[in-house]
Structure 1
């Protein structure tokens, strides 16, 4: 205790006592936290009430894995689709580059063609980065293409070290460090993917390993990024939860005990327990500058943190969008449906067809009087998606007129009202449906068909 240095923390402006170093704990048998992860029981969330402080970085950002983790769970995108989506990310991120990076595979010619075409755009953001096998040949490929950074898999739980790699912790660390050194020798910045960090021994393996990575960074003067991967979605954001499930505890440990700068810490979440968004926000709050996301959450198993969700989390936490163009999100959803053939589930926040559609009769009445009552924010302004009221037997003429005006985005000079022949014709059809015993709301497709039929009959052009 007497030999430990006292220093002034430049973030809190409080005197701190220098932490002990954390040596590798090389165990003979794997620590798989059976008290938390008993395979024939639901995983447990335990608490020890050790609270770590919030430490929001001066700047935070989003990185994208749509073309890497997102592409592992669906049919591969064409080169043209990748380039189009990359253009969308550039527009969405705005002039400050809040979408900081996109990562790409380099395995196939198609992958590399997409990379070359995206790099030809010469955008500052998103930066084009890669994901490769950890080999000298692939490192050289990254360098030849002209990339500054690449992802490297360094699995960190004993599940992976002992059961998959068949190594000890020391063997795994030495193997990983040799790979990272090879990467640095080529002048490439490694992005170390600490896979399965929420089942790892944080202070027995992760912190000692990251301390060694920081030494390599000092030696080569090349940034070494740490990506904390909640591979199985076990992370929790609850204050006082025990590690390795505690996201606050993991980010604090990386930042304070391993000495990893916030700008080199990135969180990569999965949604197995519906916590990807809250965990990503928590990573920001406790000191990670980057959160890694996939568009619409498309990814392995239950998916990754949805990128569009973190755009709105950013705005809520910072009080500004910092130039991000959120209307692009709607364009991307339309592109997925029309050009890629992927339909986003209808109730998905911000992008689903029905995310801002009010169905309950009493709610619909409130929305028609003042849309703020039942709409999360001005969705027309931020997403080009005005709120809609689903049509049922309680909608009335005003509800039907509102639906037609908003669904077809009619200008003021073409808007219909409750006295319109078209609205009354649709209302007659709706009443007939419920008189015959229908109990469910009417679908968009049904309404469009009836409106189209009556427009032709009445000689009305809504477009």
Structure 2
């Protein structure tokens, strides 16, 4: 047993929190009478796990594809440090080639970091790659310590500390991944282990970081929620122990549809860094979507004119055309139809002022002009908008040519059509009804 200011509870049998995680029922949330107070760090940012967790749910990227994604992340960041780091696997020749290609770019951001298991053997991959920081898997819950590692808490911590010390001896910043922290004994394991890490940070005069890993998405954002599921209390306790915000990072999963709000919650309560992957692709239900967290950051910290938000749209196009991503048409921010309206009354509102039905200037910020999908619900206003979006023309919604197209659309649906009218069909009809009088296309 480790004799520390905060005593490790070195129990002989695992605490699986069956009152919170009964397994044969949905997990439970309990609440405290006092809420945690918001404590937003002065600087908050994003890190990326596309090349690590993001590859655990799909075929591996080629080194060249990783390089192109890395270039996109750099283009979006535009030297701001918003996308501060990327983490890479280091085990295969393919992994190491990808690291070498990205290192050759010489970018300041995103910084290249590694990921290893808590073994001295794995640490050799970090030094061979010449990395200045690496993640180290340091599982925190008894589910992992007892049931996976087949150890007791003191044995697990000692093994973790040996590898952390090896990193510090080599001048490498260790980032300890507290796997499954939302099912861990906070007072009996998390804080004693974190306290040991603070001692090493003081001894070596070096940062020792913690990644709070919500491995199964159990974290909840509610200010009054109880441990071990409370994100506000998880972050607050580490801050009160002495960890600066910039040494703390959140890593979540979307098992309960809270992945984005949970990452933002970690920011709000004192964790400077949120770990993401492009379009949320990660193990099982995925990680916080990088593009969503970029926009979340803008809402909390302000829109930064230096950040290339429109490059998010370019990255989405690349992911779909070159990487085989299937992004749902209504997927927020980058889906084909995310800012396309189908309702006629909405189209009429857009014509009067697009702010009525568009959440922000998608054309300016994401290079995605608003659109109208043509169905039986579109109406004359939507047809007018469709024509004006493609041709340099201003036309009344009651113009006979608009009404003629509307009549054709209505006839399609009266004949039991269920699909939307395609762009090719609309463009053909427009040419026909305008009969050679169309101005040049935009």
TM interval, shorter chain, is over 0.9
Q: Quote the residue 2:315 is aligned against.
A: 332
2:214, 2:160 → 1: CA distance? 19
> How far does the alpha carbon of each residue in 1:189-210 deviate from its partner, in whole angstroms, 9 at most, with x for none?
1111000000000111000001
Matched, 1:215 2:194: no
Structure 2 partner of 1:3: none
Equivalent positions of 1:30-179 (< 5 A) are 30-179=14-163
Tell me the CA shift for residue 417 of structure 1.
7.0
Which residue of 2 is the match for residue 379 of structure 1? 362
Q: Spell out the pairing of 1:293-332 with structure 2 (5 A cutoff).
A: 293-321=276-304, 323-332=306-315
- 1:454: how far off? 4.7
User: Which residue does the alignment assign to 1:268?
Assistant: 251
1:315-364 Cα offsets, whole Å, 9 max, x none, are 11123336221111111111111111212112211111121122233223
**Cα–Cα, structure 1 residues 224 and 344, in superposed 2: closer, same or farther, change >3 Å?**
same
Provide the secondary structure at the position in 1 that maps to 2:345: helix
What is the Cα deviation at residue 394 of structure 1? 4.0
- The separation in 2 between residues aligned to 1:78 and 1:417, in whole angstroms, is 52
Residues paired across the two proteins, number: 435
Q: Distance in 2 between matches of 1:373 and 1:90?
A: 34
**CA distances 1:50-84 after superposition (whole Å, capped 9, x unpaired):** 32222111111000001110111111112221111
Is residue 139–residue 186 contact of structure 1 (8 Å, CA) maintained in 2?
A: no
SS in 2 for 1:132: strand
Is 1:448 the counterpart of 2:432? The answer is: no
Matching residue of 2:376: 393
TM-score when normalising by structure 1: 0.88
The answer on 1:254 being equivalent to 2:254 is no
Q: Matched residues in 2 for 1:307 and 1:395: separation?
A: 33
Q: State the partner residue of 1:190.
A: 174
Secondary structure at 1:167 match in 2: coil
Q: Secondary structure at the match of 1:329?
A: helix
Aligned to 1:431: 410
Which shows bigger deviation, 364-373 or 244-253? 364-373
RMSD: 2.3
Alpha-carbon distance in structure 2 between the residues aligned to 1:320 and 1:448: 34
> What CA distance in whole angstroms lies between the structure 2 residues aligned with 1:41 and 1:247?
22
Closer, same or farther in 2 for the Cα pair 1:113/1:153, shift >3 Å? same
Distance 1:415 1:111 in 2: 55
CA distance in 2, matches of 1:137, 1:432: 71
**Deviation readout 1:135-167 (Å, 9 max, x if unpaired):** 334323322322101111000001111111111
Distance in 2, matches of 1:333 and 1:116, equals 25
Indicate conservation of the 8 Å contact 1:314/1:321, yes or no: no
Are the structure 2 counterparts of residues 238 and 436 from structure 1 closer, same or farther at C-alpha, using a change threshold of 3 Å?
Answer: same
TM-score, structure 2 normalization: 0.92
Give the equivalent residue in structure 2 for 1:14. none
Distance 1:188 1:425 in 2: 70
Distance 1:425 1:87, change over 3 A: farther
| 1:395 CA displacement | 2.6
Distance 1:95 1:186 in 2: 28
Contact 2:176 2:209 in 1 (8 A): yes
Question: Gaps (5+ residues) in structure 2?
Answer: none
Q: Distance in 1 between matches of 2:193 and 2:380?
A: 67
Structure 1 stretches lacking a partner, 5+ long? 1-19
Output the CA distance in 1 between the equivalents of 2:381 and 2:36: 54
2:265 is the counterpart of 1:290: no
Q: Which moved more, 1:365-374 or 1:316-325?
A: 316-325
